[in-house]
Structure 1
């Protein structure tokens, strides 16, 4: 039986839901916004049902049918990816495997476009996402990961490649009293519940640079191990957190969270690609780290978004 939809239709639906906006989905798929809209319209015409509705701010919200298609697409595309990787690995096409993890944050919105770029420029390197089972240095030593993306200054004997400058921001629900503010001062958080992932204040992060300087303490501090759980609680207006704006990109762009600057000057934080200290100067791991630095730089992201808006990429 012939399928009504092509693989590009499934990719389109999955990308729109994953990346929250048409602009981000188009960049992830390396096509223009116009081409993406045409793909979506074609998919809905072929199926004879609406896959998305226009929500607040004209954002696309998946219908029940759209969610069903997205769930099937996610499973099928992942299985196809594994199939291709298995075939290439068995055929000896991959010469190296590099395992990449993200410290603290379960954020992977950057991976799909990065993986596409890597395949085009370094087809013999296989990059795998892994979840760290220990602290950064130990995960690298145990070879659970070869590269760890981490915010803040590297601690310990590690090799590092600077990636981009991010911002730690106060994260609140869109309905929160501070959501529409351009910035927030520490004393305005004294009656709030503070949700954090760490039991100990990390040097160089929000408690040292923002909250403790004003000698204030939130009404209640709740430690929750996983940032994804913190994000969901904040979206439900169960408290506030101070998190990486970049890591929360998808939920901010979808309108589920709001980010407010910490003080008038903000709290900039540098992200790095961390590697083992003895990593050779020329290796697949170094190549991947350097490509991450290029791919994640603000100028690279802005250029990709601009190209998509101007229709410079093909269907």
Structure 2
């Protein structure tokens, strides 16, 4: 290898913060030292990694590829060090759990209290970054277990049903649609519709409910976080179709109202997903089994 870890750290920091000064502050070195380190990296590689754009540094096409590699590899190296330290100190094995698409963690306290295995041997962390790219975080090792409302077809991943749920219309409690026993797609035509993804996700409301109706919703606003969507609906700034289970607490507290989608409802299944290669990893296996058992007892409809 031509570059050392300190060079990769430099590339990652400049890529994130855009300037030598900001990168130097983050890494705790002087700006002249950072400038020297960058020049050394470019000399070792035989080409420019960045171009000047005013006071900013803009990566060249080849430099951008290096930055993407740095941002992917450095967290993995850090995790490997953490795992080694835990093992060397006879500490707990770390299992990282993420929620796909929803920031729904209302179940976490109850689950953690129920754990039958020794917490000194298994530590569970929850990874917020999994919300947007759940399967990617599993494959790259940033998470070990994902709870997702979408089934995975990736042959590298093990996907098992967890709980049954349903997609429901979420409205302000005093919204005109809140008093209906159920809605049809036509009811959404004049509404400000909020969505966390403009993609037609397989198995979700657009594919199963909106598109088959043939209607067009003219007022659609994308809000990437479901938490933010709920906050907007709570002050009557729109409606959305979301998971009843994920919004259980907001619905129970009457911050929002839930209305069935069609007379027969729109069923949704949540899955627990892990890497097949971790099938013999006792910490991950035990955590996944404990999650399945807890959800079966406490969250199944």
Q: TM-score range by the shorter chain?
A: 0.5 to 0.7
Residue number in structure 1 paired with 2:206: 207
- In the alignment, the residues of structure 2 paired with residue 174 and residue 91 of structure 1 have an alpha-carbon distance, to the nearest angstrom, of 54
Residue by residue over 1:146-203, the C-alpha shift from the partner in whole angstroms, topping out at 9 and shown as x without a partner, is 1111002213221123210111111101011011222111111111111001121101
Q: Which of 106, 109, 112 is 2:106 aligned to?
A: 109
TM-score (norm 1): 0.64
Number of residue pairs aligned between Structure 1 and Structure 2: 213
Residue pairs, 1:1-315, within 5 angstroms: 94-118=91-115, 120-123=116-119, 124-132=121-129, 135-157=133-155, 158-281=157-280, 283-297=282-296, 299-301=297-299
Q: Secondary structure at the match of 2:176?
A: coil
Distance 1:281 1:302 in 2: 27
Checking the alignment, whether the CA contact within 8 Å between 1:159 and 1:279 is kept in structure 2 is no
Return the offset for 1:283.
2.1
For residues 59-110 of structure 1, give each alpha carbon's deviation from its aligned partner in whole angstroms, at most 9, with x where no partner exists: xxxxxxxxxxxxxxxxxxxxxxxxxxxxxx7995743110001001111100
Which protein, 1 or 2, shows the higher relative CO under an 8 Å CA cutoff with sep ≥ 6? 1
8 A Cα contact 2:99 2:134, kept in partner: no
The answer to whether the 8 A contact 1:159-1:278 is kept is: no
State the alpha-carbon separation in 2 of the partners of residues 267 and 222 from structure 1.
Answer: 22
- Unmatched runs of 5 consecutive residues or more in structure 1: 1-88, 304-315
Q: Over aligned residue pairs, what C-alpha RMSD do you find?
A: 2.1
Q: Are the counterparts in 1 of residues 98 and 134 from structure 2 also a CA contact under 8 Å? A: no
Which residues of structure 2 form unaligned runs of 5+? 1-85
Which of structures 1 and 2 has the bigger CA Rg? 2
The alpha-carbon distance between structure 1 residues 255 and 93, as it changes in their structure 2 partners (threshold 3 A), is farther
Alpha-carbon displacement from aligned partner over 1:247-282 (angstroms, at most 9, x marks no partner): 101110111011111101111111111111322245
CA contact (8 A) 1:170 1:242 kept: yes
**In structure 1, what is the Cα distance between the partners aligned to 2:91 and 2:159?**
25
Cα separation, 1, equivalents of 2:140 and 2:300: 36
**Divergent runs of 4+, >3 A:** 89-95, 299-303
Provide Cα deviations, 1:106-126, integer angstroms capped at 9, x if missing partner: 1110001101112x4343211
Q: d(CA) in 1 for partners of 2:90 and 2:114? A: 17
